[in-house]
Structures are given as C-alpha cells and as structure tokens.
Structure 1
Amino acid sequence: MTDTAAPTPAASTGAPFGRVLTAMATAFAEDGSVDLEATQRIARHLVEHGHDGLVVSGTTGESPTTTPDEDGDVLAAVRDAVGSGIHLVAGVGTNDTRTSLGLARQAKKNGADGVLLVSPYYNKPGQRGILQHFRQVSGAAELPVMLYDVPGRTGSTIALETYEQAIAWDEVVAVKDAVGDFARGVRIRELGYAVYSGDDEANLGWLAHGAVGFVSVVGHVAGDQLRAMAESYWAGDTAAALETYTRMLPAIDAVMGVANYGATTAKAALQLLGVLDNRRVRSPLVELDDDEVAALRTGLEAAGLLT
C-alpha cells in the first residue's frame, strides 16, 4: 500500500470528502473483466495530479454494468493504491434499494470514507419514495453520504423539501449537484449541505455560489488545473481563476461533448495521456472511433494538456 498524504485544501473547513474529486473510470481487460492493476494506475494518476478525493463505481466508472463483487474489488484495489490519506467515495446508488443496501454495507468493509447515493433512476419514484430510499441506504452505510442529483440521468429532481428532511440524518452531509440551478444550490447549501459541483462546465460558477469542491470528469486530464482554479478563487484572485477556467474550456468541451461523454471520453483521454493502453468500455457503451479520438485530442491540445 502507498500511504499518500492528501493535498492541503485552500479552505480548511466544510469539505467532508475533499475538494477536488473525479468520478474515476474503471479499466477493463481484453476479456472484458475488470483490470484492477490498470484501475489502480488511474487512481494514482489522479492523486498525482491535484486530487484529494476519488469517486469509484459511479456512472463514469460504468457502475450500471459492473457487478457488486466487482465494485467491491475495485474499491479495495483503489484504497490499496492510494493509501489512507485520500478520500474515497463509493458509488452505491441504483434503482433497487436492496442492491444499494448491499453496496453500502460493502463500501464500509472495503475502505470507503463515504458513499455517493444517486436518486433512483428509470423507475422514477416520487419524493416519498426517494426519501425512503435515501433513509434506508444512508442508515445501512454507516458512513457519510453525498446525495447526487442529476435529472438528466434519473428523470427526476430531488425536491427542496426532500433535502430539508434528509439533512436531519447524521449521515447525510453533502450533495453532488448536476441540476445547474445556482440559486437552488445556494438554498441547498443554506440547509446545511456541503455542495459539490457535478458539472464541469459550471465549476467556476459553483465556486461563486458556495460550492466546496468538484466531482469532475474532466479531472481525468485536468486535475492540476481544477485545483489551481479553486485555490486561486479561494485566495481571492478571481481573475486568475477565470484565466485557468478559460484555458480549460477546450478540454471541457472535448471531454463532455465528443460522442457519449463520461466513461468513453475519459478512457480515450487516459489513453492519449499514456495512463491506459486501451479505451475499452462495456456494452452498451462503445469506444470512441478514430475521428472522435482526433476531436478529443484537438481539444486537449488546445487546452495545453497534451504535448
């Protein structure tokens, strides 16, 4: 195990899972199995580039197609790779409460510091169902919980009234917000949540509205830049923060806008950086084709992230 000390955050309070996190990709071997060694390389790469936290087995980690046993193995392998100084958040959100309960219990055993709990998707429960799901899984986790609100994937939005009730539970401390409504985010923050940006395009805007950090996808290639932007902002140098954000825009556009953003672009970007030797994904996702990789490369080069 490598014992890696977490980077010192620019602000010292209010960020229970760290400041700069990426929802990290999960690597696969040629036979389709999880490649734990390559996944550990991703984790070490992120920690070496500005991260003090990692999210494993989120959507970008292809959690819809990994099994609970694989999720447990990935979490344990990543913990072994990064040591005890890095915040590890395990994605345990599914649209089946029983499955999420099992994942939450497993997360604590396998070294997680917290869990990421998305509202149930596809079956679209009402707010009472969402609240019940959150209550049961939070209690089972026995770890700090980051709720995740991403209507584009779940088909529903967590109501402010639901947030008001959930914050009363000791385990629930944060939210990853991908709703894109800054005023609403301020109201959630005022309820007592640590708010994390879940939208790379809006990261700088979220800092201005009180976010304590990011759960990124672009962080696979721009972790140092994300940290520099945040530290400039917290130091009061908003011009420097804006300059860094502006330089990152081509990469943000490429990672979030080429083909199916997320795991597909993250893995292709890691391949371009030499962290991975392939860009394999599990069906129904498909690898970026050569034209899409070329467009991704252009964006990363324009942002100064490839030499």
Structure 2
Amino acid sequence: MTTPPTPTRTPTPFGRALCAMVTPFTAEGALDLDGAQQLADRLVAGGCDGLVLSGTTGESPTTTDAEKSALVRAVREAVGARPSIVAGVGTVDTRHSVELALAAEKAGADGLLAVAPYYSRPPQDAIEAHFRELADATALPLALYDIPGRTGVRIEPETMIRLAGHPRIVAVKDCAYDLMGTQKVLSRTDLAYYTGCDEYVLALYALGGSGYISTVANVIPRHFRSAIDTFDAGDTTEAARLQQRALPLTELMMASDLPGAVTTKALLGALDLPSGPVRAPLRPADRKTTDELLTAYEELTA
C-alpha cells in the first residue's frame, strides 16, 4: 500500500486528542471535585493529552466563577503536567471573560477557550476587539470557539485570519459546520484547528487539522485517538473504519435533540463513572434514552 502524502499540520499547542470534559456534580447538585479528579485521571490514562474544562459539555453557563477555578485546581492536582488543561472563559461580557481568564491562569490552566459573546450578537469588529482584549489579559494561549448554533453569531473566517496575527491567539475549536471557511483559514494562517464535532474528527484531521475536542471521548477516550494515530501511520482505510464504527454512539450522544452534556452524563452514570445530574434548565435523559446509549456503547466496545 502506498502511503499518502502527509498534509501540512500546524504544531499542536494543546495536544491532539482533547476531551471536552463534563463537570461532575454530587446527587445534591454541588460540584464534585473528587469525581472530577477520578474522571480526569481516567481520560488521561485512556489517551487524552488535553482536557477542556468549563466548556459547553462542562455546563459552563450554570457553574459559578469560584467553581470554575476550583475545577481547574482539582484537575491539575489529579493529573499533574501530563495533559494540557484548557479553561473555558467565554461569556456575554468582555470584562467578565477577562476576569475568568485571569482566574484560570492563577488556578493553573495551560490555555483558554472562549466563544464569541452570545445573545447580544456583536458585529465582527466588536468580536475581534473582544478577543484581542481577552488575549492581552494573560500570558496564556487562547483558542477561539466558533459555535454559531449556540452563540447566534459566527467568528467569520476573515475575522479569524486577522486575529491569527495576535501572538497568543493560537487555535480554533471548530463547530461551525463550514468546511469551506475552515479550509480558507487553514490555508492562510498557522492557527491550530480542533474539530468540536465528533463526526468530523477524521475529516478535519485529514485536511490538516490539529486534532479534536471531543464530547464522546468522555466515554470512549481512546477510540478517536486510535483513528488519528492510525491515519498518521498511513492506514487511511482503517482510520475511516474506526471513525465510522463510532457513528451510532456519536449520533445518539450528539444528534438526538438532547445536549451533549445530558447524554454524556446519562451514559457515564450508567457506567458507574463520575457524572451526577445536570443543572437546570437542563434535565436528565429518560430511561429509554439511557438504555439506547448503553447498548450503543456496549456494541462499540465489545
């Protein structure tokens, strides 16, 4: 078999295989730091070289600033320097985002992740100014999180291209479902691209992406890592098979009209792994959904 040419790949500032980790809560709804440490250790042992805390899957809108900092400190204590820790700091308010960034830096994070300010739907020049102020606030590298389905606004490719000139804006978590725009930025910048859509792990990696920030990795941390490792080894057919084999579970977790935090916590709970309830306004998955998730998981890991 002829080994295909390796695409030009930007150095990975946070690793290649990142998990968008859930935030475990106790049965009473309090932050479960012991559970977070156990889960983080399991994820790193399973092949994750980076953990994203307080992102979408981490229910960041319903955790307090103090809880976000405590989570970074606890996970750092559990995993040491083995993985990178990227802290979600995006809010609707530039000043609040800066405060969270400074707190994350103090707590021991290696990097920051920030969505475009949501609800107010600022124009592109305001979005650019927001990210520049955030990047100037700390010494940590910053990843832009483009997820218009939740924020109501894009970080347009031209805006990313301009922001790529900032020395601390180094990466993108891509949930825009716009492969044309993604390739445009990849071809004109050194930004490291991480897919945040599990169904695109191999597709974006093959285009020169740096890796993934996966929700599904909470339950199968080694699977997508194996897919990109296999791709790097030159066996693209097997890499595609691994990607496709995860599709039933990925679809149930990410495309079932329930947020990924809900489905992930349901499955982790069924596996007796740290998770706990989701916080309102989210509501737990029902028994039927949980059983379907568990069946898909067992079929994938059999």
Shorter-chain TM-score tier: over 0.9
- Aligned residue in 2 for 1:45: 42
Answer whether contact 2:116 2:151 (CA < 8 A) is retained.
yes
Query: How many Å apart are 1:208 and its aligned residue?
Result: 1.6
- Aligned residue in 2 for 1:260: 258
- Aligned residue in 1 for 2:157: 160
Answer whether contact 1:21 1:53 (CA < 8 A) is retained.
yes
Answer whether contact 1:258 1:295 (CA < 8 A) is retained.
no
1:60 partner SS: coil
2:180 matched to 1:183? yes
Structure 1: 5+ residue runs without aligned partners?
Answer: 1-10
2:59 matched to 1:68? no
- Aligned residue in 2 for 1:3: none
Supply the RMSD in Å over aligned alpha carbons. Answer: 1.5
2:221 partner SS: helix
1:209 to 194, 203, 207: 207
- Aligned residue in 2 for 1:7: none
Change (3 A) 1:260 1:269: same
Count of residue correspondences: 294
Aligned counterparts of 1:102 and 1:248: Cα–Cα separation in 2:
38
Which of 170-179 and 200-209 deviates more? 200-209
Aligned counterparts of 1:13 and 1:186: Cα–Cα separation in 2:
13
2:51 to 43, 46, 54: 54
- Aligned residue in 1 for 2:84: 87
1:99 partner SS: helix
> Which one-letter code corresponds to 2:272 in the other structure?
G
Answer whether contact 1:249 1:303 (CA < 8 A) is retained.
no
Superposed CA offset, 1:87-121 (max 9, x none): 00000011111110100001111111100011111
Q: Which runs of 4+ in 1 moved over 4 A?
A: none
- Aligned residue in 2 for 1:289: 286
2:222 matched to 1:224? yes
Q: TM-score, normalised by structure 1?
A: 0.92
- Aligned residue in 2 for 1:104: 101
Q: Which has the higher contact order (CA 8 A, sep 6+)?
A: 2
2:144 to 147, 151, 155: 147
Structure 2: 5+ residue runs without aligned partners?
Answer: 1-7
- Aligned residue in 1 for 2:29: 32
Aligned counterparts of 2:43 and 2:136: Cα–Cα separation in 1:
30
Query: How many Å apart are 1:234 and its aligned residue?
Result: 1.4
Aligned counterparts of 1:160 and 1:182: Cα–Cα separation in 2:
11
Query: How many Å apart are 1:27 and its aligned residue?
Result: 0.8
Answer whether contact 1:251 1:302 (CA < 8 A) is retained.
no
Change (3 A) 1:118 1:243: same
Aligned counterparts of 1:156 and 1:56: Cα–Cα separation in 2:
22
> Which one-letter code corresponds to 2:35 in the other structure?
A
1:250 to 248, 251, 256: 248
Aligned counterparts of 1:56 and 1:133: Cα–Cα separation in 2:
21
Superposed CA offset, 1:149-196 (max 9, x none): 011111111112211221111100110111122222122112221111
Query: How many Å apart are 1:16 and its aligned residue?
Result: 0.5
- The percentage of counterpart residues that share the same residue type is 43
